[in-house]
Amino acid sequence: MDHFPIFLAVQGRRIIVSGGGETALAKLRILLKTTARISVLADAPAPELVTLAQQGRITLIERAFEPGDALCATLVYAANDDAPEDARVARLARADGALVNIVDNLDHSAFITPAIVDRDPVTIAIGTEGAAPVLARAIKADLEERLPPSLGLAARVGKAFRKAAEALPMGRKRREFWADYYFNAAPQAIEKQGEAGLDAALSDLLAKHLASAPTQGRVDLVGAGPGDPELLTLKARRLLDRADVVIHDRLVSPGILELARREAILIDAGKEGFGPSMTQAQICALMVEHGKRGAHVVRLKGGDPAIFSRLDEEIEALETAGIDWSIVPGITAASAAAAGIGQSLTKRNRNSALRIVTGHDMKGFAEQDWRGLARPDTVAAIYMGARGARFIQGRLMMHGADPETPVTAVENASRPETRAIVTTLGQLAATLEEETFTGPVILLYGLCPRAAEAALPLPRTLTRADRKEEFA
């Protein structure tokens, strides 16, 4: 992010536009929506500028920009349609201490003006850092269609009511009141009575919320999927936007955490195999503590919460404490990893069953039905198996598994940095010991990338770019 988005206070402050033609007029169309004091300097102003000055909407100075003109100005726009003149104006304005925008000159501007959706006081600014103005306009048009003009009216009336709403406790209770107002009471009141009905609607709604029972805490056990934010379910996305507290695993990607409500408390409850971690008892205690305080807690787990994530222990802790809970499934790593290498986890005439196993548990390397796993055409997704590759290899081969059985280790499934390491069971341990893993790894036993089934030598490491070529 090369430009940090902020909303600048301009009420009663000076904004200067240097230029008297179409470019200056275009900037004024948006600047005149503000409460700033606007001055325009132009030695040959367009008739429209003269009219605006006569109406008292701008101060028009009919001469070129001079030293000292930008003293105490908040912003200066150089909009002369003349590169040397714009550069001169910018140099003088900077010397006066003002922030300068040279129209259509991103590299020499201290700020940029975004595309704006205006539902005053609701204002949405859309910026692309100058890279894609067409895209910004398209997003603006889409939002203009979605947001009713009455939204600004509801917000203006609601703004004046904020002091009265402080009778509600801060946090979830107050947010529920405002959500009820903006999404239910306000639209209904405007439709029936117009602006005149909003004050009564707010007063009635506040009385209703004050009389309601205290908000009860709850915990949603949510699957964050394998890491790609676009694979998050709609329900999970909605709950993240409402949560007061998010207790998340190490495997939850930063992109997904960015979707949490900005005011939410984020707690890293990361667990790492064979490494330091927060204990399960501590995680359960955190959920119960915040839930009893009336908070809406999202327990965010990588993948699906019902697969190797100690879901039952957390549910038991919540039920013992009398806290309401729900489960929101997520896409598990096995599905994402198989999709990434272009394979199906089950296939007619190959396997009618899929094994999902763990490479290690709390007691160490996990024992499995090795004889069943060693049968020909078996497909298994082995979670947390990279560190136990030699153990897994040995057990399978002891029970008759073919050393040429394909195995694909997928790291960071679904994420931009994903990679697939293709090998065989006989080479599994040696291949993985040569690799350095920084993200979660799942072993797909019995599967290799579709193109590698006949064409690729083993072992081989595939990147995302390789897979694009395979399926092109």
Report DSSP state, residue 169.
P
Report DSSP state, residue 275.
S
Q: Is the peptide bond before 329 cis (omega within 30 degrees of 0)?
A: no
Question: What is the rounded CA–CA span in Å between residue 203 and residue 307?
Answer: 48
Q: Which of 235, 214, 221, 219 is nearest to 172 (CA)?
A: 214
- CB count within 10 Å of CB 316 equals 11
Q: Which of 200, 191, 124 is nearest to 161 (CA)?
A: 200
- The phi, psi pair for 374, rounded to 5°, reads -80, -10
Active-site residues, by number, are 249, 271
**Identity (one letter) of the amino acid at 161?**
F
Q: Which of 199, 155, 146 is nearest to 178 (CA)?
A: 155
229 and 256 Cβ atoms separated by less than 8 Å: yes
Q: Which of 317, 293, 285, 306 is nearest to 221 (CA)?
A: 306
- CB count within 10 Å of CB 297 equals 30
243 and 235 Cβ atoms separated by less than 8 Å: no
408 and 381 Cβ atoms separated by less than 8 Å: no
| CA distances to 9, 343, 401 from 35, in Å | 9, 59, 77
Ordered DSSP codes for 196-239: GGHHHHHHHHHHHHHHSPPPPPEEEEEE-BSS-GGGS-HHHHHH
The SS3 call for residue 245 is strand
Q: Is the dihedral of CA 254, 259, 264, 267 positive or negative?
A: negative
Question: What is the rounded CA–CA span in Å between residue 206 and residue 90?
Answer: 51
**Identity (one letter) of the amino acid at 3?**
H
Question: What is the rounded CA–CA span in Å between residue 113 and residue 297?
Answer: 38
Residue partners of 426: CB distance under 8 A and separation at least 6 = 393, 397, 403, 404
Q: 455: burial class by Cβ within 10 Å (0-12, 13-18, 19+)?
A: exposed
